[in-house]
Chain A
Amino acid sequence: MEILRRWLAIAVLVALGQGVTPAQAQTSPSKENRIKAAFLFNFAAFVEWPANSLPAANAPIVIGVLGEDPFGSFLDDVVHGEKVNGRALEVRRFREVSEATNCQILFISDSESGKLTDILAALKGHSALTVGDADDFADRGGMIQFATKDKIHLRINLEAAKQAGLTVSSKLLRVAEIVKGGKP
């Protein structure tokens, strides 16, 4: 493996000369992430939470981002001024899943995919709609997975959503791939 890695590095240098520049800070999220942000906003209107999981009638719907935030302020801009069923929307960022149990929608960043099983276990009994983009997110018990290939497709683990007491609108299910056999 080490040899392959070195070979790769040499080949890259040969191919590029000195042209490789380090990563530049991203000022705005990629198009892919902008679309995902818009999806997160849309989900609020397509999911019904159990009545007891939403606090006061005027409390906002919380969209949480767990781990590295790929959206920057773009997600805040998208939900800004919007209301769903009379409730405002609010974005919060979390570093640990223990902080994130009170959101209605939780985007689990790719940076957390190594801990995904633990995270999903910790969310058991809460009614957060889990959303992620890890390759096997829905298969591992996440509820909505962004699968990107030219376009962003949705893979929905309906059983996982049902177990959390969530009702996903048929309008959303119609355009998504339903993943079966997941073990939440």
Chain B
Amino acid sequence: MQTTWRCAVLSLLLLVPRAFADDITESAADIKKLSVEELMNVEVTSVSKRPEKLSDTASAIQVITAEDIRRSGATRLPEALRLASNLEVEQVNSRQWAISARGLDTTTANELLVVIDGRSVYTPRVAGVFWDVQDTLMEDIDRIEVISGPGAALWGADAVNGVINITTKSAKETQGFLLEGGGGSELHGFGGMRYGGTLASNVYFRVYGKAFERDRTELALGGDATNDWYSGQGGFRVDWEPTEQNILTFQGDTYSGRFEQSGTNGAIDATGANLLGRWTHTIAADSDFALQVYFDRTFRDTPGTLAEALDTYDVDFQHRFPVGDRNDVIWGAGYRLYDDSIRNTPVQAYYPPDTARQLFSGFAQDEIALLKDRLTLTLGTKLEHNDYSGFEVQPSGRLAWKLTERQMIWGAVSRAVRTPAENDREFYSPGVPPFKQVGGTNFDSEKLIAYELGYRIQPTPRLALAIATFFDDYSDIRSVEEANPPAAAPKTVGNGQQGYSFGAELTGDYRITDGWRVRAGYTEIQTHLRPKPGSTDFSDGANEMHDPNHQFSLRTSVDLPWHFELDPEFRYISRISNQDVPSYCEMDVRLGWVPSSHLEISVVGQNLLHDHHAEYGLLSTRQEIQRGVFGKVVWRF
């Protein structure tokens, strides 16, 4: 029943022919003509949001379900994101990950937007995500939607190359006790609990807490990387449905983590908390609005390098309504305030260290049924104003052509921008003169025009195949220029690179029997960046992209007799040429035993093929990920 409001936005982003069943269910005479299968296919989540069938979305989307996560044995979000074959997921060390879509992959992956229950977890200073503090009880995740390609028309700046939308279950769906615990070689120990109950009729709540401790990784050149860490997190969610037209959600989380680092500076401390409220109101079957407010505070102290305290205040509103028979309009507006406070060190600095920045945004989109149930055109644009680059316009056009009930072709042209971050404009290294690198005070947004073409077919109800292809035309990509040539230092940040990338994402999903499912994914990305005329950055993008050109994954889930489950996952990742990281094959295997809906016992092996292997990074600092095995018990009552 519950859907987050970002999920709603997502569903609208994925322009789709109006599902015929939406109308047919209105009439008793029509609804009874539907088969059981058709009834099971009707979306009943809040009418207005109209989440579309996956097979109908005109975008390169993959959905990771709660069951997928459970069967994968994933213990943290980045591990779960490996299930989306359209993402590049590289583990850098014990806690850092480089996650991206369609290239330009770096540890902070500054082209990808990540949203958890409607809250952006993007850190504007680095224009990226700190994956070591993004967490929740894995059992409470309802679904993760992963879009590769621009989502800017609705999601806004920074959804340049993709959107990861993580949605947790409603409090209503997480009633009762859940206790879990376990441990092993790399994941030393972990425990979690959740309790869900009711406060009054139609008011559901849950509270949860979790903690874990993880082992360090190894340095590629030999020796231990002193980066073992532990973290704890807790939170709550309340869902109130006072009437069928209104849903009110309140939720919040708080966490605290401590990450060892090598040297004599002492451990990194990271803490944070957030509070969110959302009201969705259904006006009519095809019309609704949603209002969301949140506050998010993060603090991270990396002794010897930097400390940052960031407060984010955000308000969003959206409204959807039909115009005539053929137009489905959605518009929205948002305001965000970032209050950032940085403590500089002699190693690096930001000037000014204390900033407050505002972001105003609005969007509008019209989904036009050119041919009912067959051909749909979606035109939309986002208009934003930020304190660095002023107004930004990000339009997109998408066309979906449903050839038959089981086949669809889609295409899209979109413009997206990655707006300047403090890292581009105000970053100084070292933190005191003489500087080797200074911020580019004229740094402008990085720009992308993306062309996409995709095809999806479901030859039988058990088999689904999809291909998404893209050509991305980049301009004004970040570069590091000589500030006073021919002097080698200082260098400054500019927009001196341009280039293009292209590639394809193929997926296949075959349910051979009810208890045996096989999924495969192959993604190819070729990126070429070069200096613009006049630029002195001849790195050919070596600082902006660390992408394997090919990756392949094969997963299978098998239900065995006596309530056993076996879930092997194999992946091949090609070399990252500009970091000289070798290609590798790895394998995870989960063996589970689920004697009843109350108990689940599993053993998970991760990275089983090698004692240790590298996924990312230059040799001098590269770290290697070790084979790990852990056991886990989940008890529900």
Query: Which A residues fall within an 8 A CB radius of B?
Result: 1, 4-5, 8, 11-12, 15-16, 20-24, 26, 30-32, 34-35, 37-39, 41-42, 46, 74, 77-80, 82, 135, 139, 148-154, 171-172, 174-175, 179, 181
B252-273 contact mask (Cβ, 8 Å, vs A): 1 or 0: 0000000000000000000000
Tell me whether A15 and B44 are in contact in the complex, defined as CB-CB below 8 angstroms, given that A8-B238, A22-B243, A35-B25 are known contacts: no
B248 and A35 form a contact (CB under 8 A): no
A77 and B28 form a contact (CB under 8 A): yes
Chain A-chain B contacts (Cβ-Cβ < 8 Å), number:
109
CB-defined contacts of A152 to chain B, threshold 8 Å: 39-40, 42, 44
Tell me whether A150 and B51 are in contact in the complex, defined as CB-CB below 8 angstroms, given that A16-B279, A35-B31, A42-B36 are known contacts: yes
Q: List 27 A-B contacts (CB under 8 A).
A: A4-B199, A8-B203, A8-B238, A8-B240, A11-B277, A15-B248, A16-B248, A16-B279, A20-B242, A21-B243, A23-B243, A26-B244, A30-B47, A31-B25, A34-B31, A39-B39, A42-B35, A78-B28, A79-B32, A148-B1, A149-B173, A151-B44, A152-B40, A152-B42, A152-B44, A154-B40, A175-B37
A172 to B34, CA, bound (A): 14
A12 and B199 form a contact (CB under 8 A): no
A78 and B42 form a contact (CB under 8 A): no
CB-defined contacts of B514 to chain A, threshold 8 Å: 174
Smallest beta-carbon distance A33→chain B, Å: 9
A22 to B244, CA, bound (A): 11
- Chain B residues numbered 1-28 whose CB sits less than 8 Å from any CB in chain A: 1, 3, 25-26, 28
Tell me whether A34 and B25 are in contact in the complex, defined as CB-CB below 8 angstroms, given that A4-B199, A15-B279, A23-B243 are known contacts: yes
CB-defined contacts of B26 to chain A, threshold 8 Å: 34
CB-defined contacts of A42 to chain B, threshold 8 Å: 32, 35-36, 39
Tell me whether A77 and B34 are in contact in the complex, defined as CB-CB below 8 angstroms, given that A15-B277, A139-B597, A152-B42 are known contacts: no
CB-defined contacts of B41 to chain A, threshold 8 Å: 151
CB-defined contacts of B39 to chain A, threshold 8 Å: 35, 38-39, 42, 152
Tell me whether A8 and B250 are in contact in the complex, defined as CB-CB below 8 angstroms, given that A38-B31, A38-B39, A135-B175 are known contacts: yes
CB-defined contacts of A24 to chain B, threshold 8 Å: 243, 245
B240 and A12 form a contact (CB under 8 A): yes
CB-defined contacts of B243 to chain A, threshold 8 Å: 21-24
CB-defined contacts of B25 to chain A, threshold 8 Å: 31, 34-35, 38
- Chain B residues numbered 490-510 whose CB sits less than 8 Å from any CB in chain A: none
A37 and B43 form a contact (CB under 8 A): no
B36 and A46 form a contact (CB under 8 A): yes
Interface check B29, CB cutoff 8 A: yes
A34 to B26, CA, bound (A): 8
Smallest beta-carbon distance B597→chain A, Å: 6
A1 and B199 form a contact (CB under 8 A): yes
B39-59 contact mask (Cβ, 8 Å, vs A): 1 or 0: 111111101000100000000
Interface check B293, CB cutoff 8 A: yes
CB-defined contacts of A26 to chain B, threshold 8 Å: 244
